[in-house]
Amino acid sequence: YILGDASPNSWDINAPTPLEMRSEGVFVYEGHLFAGSLQATIVSGDWNVPFILPLTNGCKITLSGVENDGFDYLVDHTNMWQVEEAGSYRLTFDLNNWTIKAENADIPDIPEPDKLYMIGSATDGSWNLDRATEFTPVAGVDGGYTWTGYLSKGTFKACTIKDFSAPFYRPSSSECYISESGITAADVVYTTSPDDQWNVMTAGNY
């Protein structure tokens, strides 16, 4: 996982941003990073474990690469990477060789959809795409969609076309919860995998 000012979920240790394992010991994050600090961990929900940290505090990450590709496992969380410029990144952590690689992911902008639907066990239509719940465009707000109604306890994700093989809008981590108190993280990604979904903890009108 990554966390910090530069990551989608900031410093939320209970919902850090997950990486995808591409091969044994090699983990990749592809997505937006803000300008700010960054650390990595292999355990969510626990500050009292060794973190994956740069060898020197303030090691710079830019769209051109990383200042020093080495890292260490440290209990003292003082050292942080510093993302110098916001943008679309591909971060590769090689836990076998203790190295990090940063690249410009050049992820294209997401086109504004003509339609937006949600499906899942929390919705009235469950996982039946023919009964997917359709959002209403928000007048005067480009890319804005709204829906008001009842959600059951369960999960959901959103799609622009009724096709399970197409990318979905989904939370940026697997532990994003919705309740009467609100939502635990507002970040949204548009991807085919991993199959993360919003988790409605309390049934009710939303």
Phi, psi for 154 (deg, rounded to 5): 160, -155
- Residue 80, strand partner residues: none
187-192 contacts at long range (C-beta below 8 A, 24 or more positions apart) = 187/8, 187/9, 189/8, 189/31, 190/110, 191/167, 192/165, 192/166, 192/167, 192/168
What pLDDT score was predicted for residue 111? 61
What pLDDT score was predicted for residue 165? 87
How far does Cα 99 stand from its chain's mean position?
22
**For residues 89 and 113, what is the distance between their CA atoms, to the nearest angstrom?**
24
Predicted TM-score of the model (pTM): 0.56
What pLDDT score was predicted for residue 133? 97
pLDDT band at 142 (very low <50, low <70, confident <90, very high): confident
Q: What are the pLDDT digits (tens) for 80-135?
A: 999 999 888 999 999 999 999 999 987 655 666 789 999 999 999 999 999 999 99
pLDDT, mean of residues 44-73: 95
What value, to the nearest 5°, has the Cα angle with vertex 39 and ends 3 and 16? 20
Nearest residue to 152 (alpha-carbon basis) of 200, 119, 117, 198: 200
Amino acid, single-letter form, for residue 155? T
pLDDT, mean of residues 136-143: 86
Asked if residues 190 and 142 have their Cβ atoms less than 8 Å apart, the reply is no
**For residues 138 and 144, what is the distance between their CA atoms, to the nearest angstrom?**
5
Q: What is the residue whose two structure tokens read 């830019």?
A: 62
**For residues 151 and 149, what is the distance between their CA atoms, to the nearest angstrom?**
7
**For residues 155 and 198, what is the distance between their CA atoms, to the nearest angstrom?**
5
What pLDDT score was predicted for residue 109? 55
Q: Which two three-digit tokens encode residue 14? A: 């209970």
Q: What are the pLDDT digits (tens) for 143-157?
A: 889 999 999 999 999
Asked if residues 3 and 80 have their Cβ atoms less than 8 Å apart, the reply is no
pLDDT band at 29 (very low <50, low <70, confident <90, very high): very high
